[in-house]
Structure 1
């Protein structure tokens, strides 16, 4: 089978060329024109790859494939401080916002824009490469940014969607700086269709406001579809975890040799609390040297496992093959007397390329207000949330979607990693024997 990375790149390009989202069946047909990939493999890719969000289609579908919409997703953003010339190195793109909008007046005239118009710049290219977006065409990348970066598009006016009359309950009327469009249309559940009294397109008042903000005519025309995708990503992205009915959790009772369900068990039967597998075209196969891979993975500084064919822990691939790690239930979901649950530990990157566990002192003896366990509980409740963290006299936000810790005052970021505590095979055997 062709390289998964090429399939993911092409699927992303196809989605961006179709206003950022498509039915699963339609996307699979398009991708299959270039790559020989069956339905099962493609379904697995769109579920597991963070580039895509799988959303249930609210309308009645003729087939299971038509029951899902795939939305293009990314965690990369435009730097908010770049336009103020206050940023000198961050993990966000340094680009002219109006160039992304397709309407920078300096780029079209003799006077050169003082902000970058290059995605290939010394700052931008490494960031795009790290996110495997460096091969995307500019227009595709910009659409991806528009529907994922909340700072780029104005909000839909909630007051317009209340009350009656031409402007609903909006007191600003034609002077409103938010877009007047039907909220139910954006949420894809408007029961009135073409008979709706609310707008399903951009009217002249909103168009004038958007043009003043620098958005091009093409983006304004596609704005209703972009808003639908923004809604899908923000409010329906959690469907992603519910559509995968495949076994992914290791049975705690089987490890202790007392699972009464046997072959009918809904969980994976394995003798360790972790299991590393590689997909080789016709099914999942156990990886050799599982304990050494696990040992490397548990150390947050590692992005690869040892050996001649290393596992890339960031993309969860080995060469061009997908890799997955199965594990027992998180320790925070079970009573303390349960053995061999998975203890997940949350780390942030320190000032000296070191990784510091949340709730533990850093090199200046400062401790975060939340512990690793606090973050794990919050993550299992909502894996798209942001958690406020205090350290010393500074406030930070930990984003589960981006896996970054952000300082809102200076807009700087630190990487965040969630890794399990290492459990050697000898420890498993000792605990089972007790």
Structure 2
């Protein structure tokens, strides 16, 4: 029996990694067999492998495989400390393109080609005596490869379904949010019995309903109205009975909540980072990751970051910044626009540059090793263009290249060359690479499969190489940005302002109360049409309250951002007949 604890008999990093992988697989299987979640102490008790508490803590930190949540103790005592519950997490999903119109997915994805209805219990097409065009076997070459890449090929079918249901949001029926608001048997849902979403208490599913059995919302999936909807989805009675715990698990996994424990605070993944928004619409995380704090602020470049010196991100006039480490402090390199231009060329792997404008000390900056002479170097950057909507200016557009047999760099997906066009573009590779980075270096997302002509390839993000899956030929891969000069920055800033046009505001706003940055609250007169419109909207859902006053929040920065977004979305700025309005209503019952 393997021992994974403070001192283990296995030797070497490979053996240790293999032993850890075995335990991770066993923990996943035990959790899925137990309904997807177990209290931490109970999990340790059920493991066949002897695992020390410290070792288990470290294994549970494997990003993307587990989430530790704080839940109220089963006893329900108010003063009782919350239990630490471990949940099985995974990036494994059903392939939606496989369920879409043909030809659908060509098989290069990393998701399961499996019938959604079969996962729910029984395929409604087969049950009706018809043919189903979706996959029904886990043992196809594609599905076996996907299961192995996610480290779950050892799970039974029922265990795999449990893992999918609490991680793949596409599988769970949507809860009607309007049902959970307002009064009456259907809340504020205007569709009532015709609503296709489930009418059930969302707080009950999150384990947070304080009303219990006296709650006016339904806590029962077997209620006739809900049961009919679930049966149409092909859900078995066993699955329907397990839905409350599945929704609770899915909620905890999505929110990446961690139980507080002295000495052990399991870190939430990047999706769990909370954010706060300021009056300009820019976002600054409350607890930034290192990557976020090393990112250049896009709002500052657009001249609209109201956090100013309190912003977690770097404020700089260019979308890139080259620095070297000197005496424990990062210092800017001189003429960094020339460095950036060289770096944008995949044929160049180094450049000779000076420490500063007043320095006569020149040294080589190596792009591969990121060293300036013997000192460590770094490049700060704005967010990748694939992570932001198209209207964000001065994001960093990364281009991915592979080296051909002649030593020339070829861009992925580029047409018009003598080489067969790859089925993936630079943006496809960039999205996959960022997924790999967010999941950690041990993630199963470290490779990306694609085709070029008749050949199949695999791109390895760890080694930065691509491999021909038949002949084993290996080619180098590199990632470089598109060069943006200081003049390009000014042009884009000017175009952005020009595109937005003059600072037009709604006719009914008070032009004398427009602080920039910031906002102003204007009390509305009860005789105005604007007041009556807001009052009617307020009274529709809260009829038993008296309105004391209504205030309009005038925020010029948010108004400009809204116009900017809508203008880009429709291909050109037009007069807006519908726009967001923020009001504060002071009321009493």
Q: The TM-score by the shorter chain falls in which range?
A: 0.5 to 0.7
Aligned to 2:207: 188
Cross-structure match for 1:21: 37
**Aligned match of 1:122:** 141
1:103 corresponds to: 122
Q: Which moved more, 1:394-403 or 1:116-125?
A: 394-403
Among candidates 366, 372, 382, match of residue 374 of structure 1: 382
CA shift, 1:221, in A, is 1.7
Shift of 1:123: 0.7
1:219 corresponds in structure 2 to: 239
Distance 1:225 1:72, change over 3 A: same
Deviation at 1:234, TM superposition (A): 1.3
Partner deviation per Cα, 1:8-47 (whole Å, 9 max, x = no partner): 222212221222112112222212xx22122222222122
* Change in CA separation of 1:30 and 1:361 when aligned onto 2, cut-off 3 Å: farther
> How much has 1:4 moved relative to structure 2?
2.7
Work out whether residues 161 and 183 of structure 1, in 8 Å CA contact, stay in contact via their aligned partners in 2.
yes
In structure 2, distance between residues paired with 1:329 and 1:98: 40
Q: Indicate the larger mover: 6-15 or 394-403.
A: 394-403
Alignment of 1:410-425 (within 5 A): none
Name the SS for the 2:186 alignment partner.
coil
CA distance in 1, matches of 2:241, 2:67: 24
Mapping of residues 28-427 of structure 1, within 5 Å: 28-31=44-47, 34-48=48-62, 50-58=64-72, 67-83=83-99, 84-85=101-102, 86-89=104-107, 90-107=109-126, 113-202=132-221, 203-235=223-255, 237=256, 239=258, 245=264, 373-375=381-383, 387-388=387-388, 399=435, 400=438
Assess if the C-alpha contact under 8 Å between 1:95 and 1:119 holds in 2: yes
1:232 CA displacement:
0.7
- Give the aligned CA root-mean-square deviation in angstroms: 4.3
**Helix, strand or coil for the counterpart of 2:164?**
helix
Indicate the larger mover: 150-159 or 386-395. Answer: 386-395
For the residue of structure 2 that corresponds to 1:50, the secondary structure is coil
- The answer to which of 102-111 and 183-192 deviates more is 102-111
Distance 1:50 1:25, change over 3 A: same
Q: Does structure 2 retain, via aligned residues, the 8 Å contact 1:57–1:68?
A: yes
- Which structure 2 segments of 5+ residues have no match? 5-18, 268-289, 296-311, 315-322, 331-342, 348-378, 391-396, 400-424, 449-457, 464-589
Q: CA deviation at 1:375?
A: 4.3
Superposed displacement of residue 82, structure 1: 0.9
Q: Determine helix, strand or coil for the equivalent of 2:50.
A: coil
C-alpha distance in 2 between matches for 1:215 and 1:141 = 16
CA distance in 1, matches of 2:294, 2:166: 36
Given that 2:186 and 2:192 are in contact with CA atoms closer than 8 Å, whether structure 1 keeps it comes out as yes
What is the CA–CA distance in structure 2 between the aligned matches of 1:150 and 1:247, rounded to whole Å?
A: 24
1:7 aligns with 2:7: no
Residues 175 and 205 of structure 1 are in contact (CA less than 8 Å); yes or no, is this contact kept in structure 2?
A: no
Contact 2:446 2:462 in 1 (8 A): no
- Structure 1 unaligned blocks of 5 or more: 249-326, 343-358, 364-370, 379-385, 407-413, 420-434
Secondary structure, aligned partner of 1:148: coil
SS of equivalent residue, structure 2 residue 381 = helix
- Give the TM-score, by structure 2 length: 0.44
Larger radius of gyration between Structure 1 and Structure 2: 2
Rate the CA distance shift 1:328–1:118 in 2: closer, same or farther, 3 A. closer
Structure scoring higher RCO (CA < 8 A, sep ≥ 6) equals: 1
For residues 246 and 95 of structure 2, the distance between their equivalents in structure 1, rounded to whole angstroms, comes to 21
